[in-house]
Structure 1
């Protein structure tokens, strides 16, 4: 019985401080993981925000194109194609036509 009491007292004297040290160490590790996760989350949020801003800018440009001249652009493209067919049929090269327009 005396040996058991001696072993328990030795464990209490050395075990409790070791448990306290181990607990503090585990707490620091957990805090570092939380900090790292928060930093990664903030970095991803900034990347997503930048990407969203780029997409919003592109949508604004497209909206402006559609609302300013919108469907008229397709008509203008078709008119240019028709003009090109006429010009090709007459045997006049396109660069010659462009030079005539400049003069």
Structure 2
């Protein structure tokens, strides 16, 4: 390397160091924003998961507390609706 090339590289290096520092700072900020966004998504998933766990717990409690009586209750509700429908038809004169 001759002195002319060395004299040219010194100012280029002196100017590139602040640019490199700015670039690395920018990359760090981008990474921090991505981490924050990922953490926010994880919190949303955790909240959603908690809601689902609560719903499953309620369903488990319903099934275990009342046993299989639920099917009988559903059928009773269906029978009640059929009777109400027949009553409404007979009152309106529709057979």
Normalization by structure 2: what TM-score?
Answer: 0.73
1:19 aligned partner: 16
| Structure 1: 4+ residue segments shifted above 6 A | none
How many residues are aligned here? Answer: 86
CA distance in structure 2 between the aligned counterparts of 1:83 and 1:25, rounded to whole angstroms = 74
- 5+ residue gaps, structure 2, are 89-95
How well do the aligned residues superpose, as a CA RMSD in angstroms? 2.4
3-state SS of paired residue (1:11): helix
Task: Flag the 1:83–1:35 CA change in 2: closer, same or farther, 3 A.
Answer: closer
- TM-score for the superposition, normalised by structure 1: 0.68
Matches within 5 A, 1:1-103: 5-12=3-10, 14-82=11-79, 87=83, 93=87
**Distance across 2 between alignment mates of 1:31 and 1:63:** 47
What CA distance in whole angstroms lies between the structure 2 residues aligned with 1:83 and 1:7?
Answer: 97
Unmatched tracts of structure 1, length 5 or more = 95-103
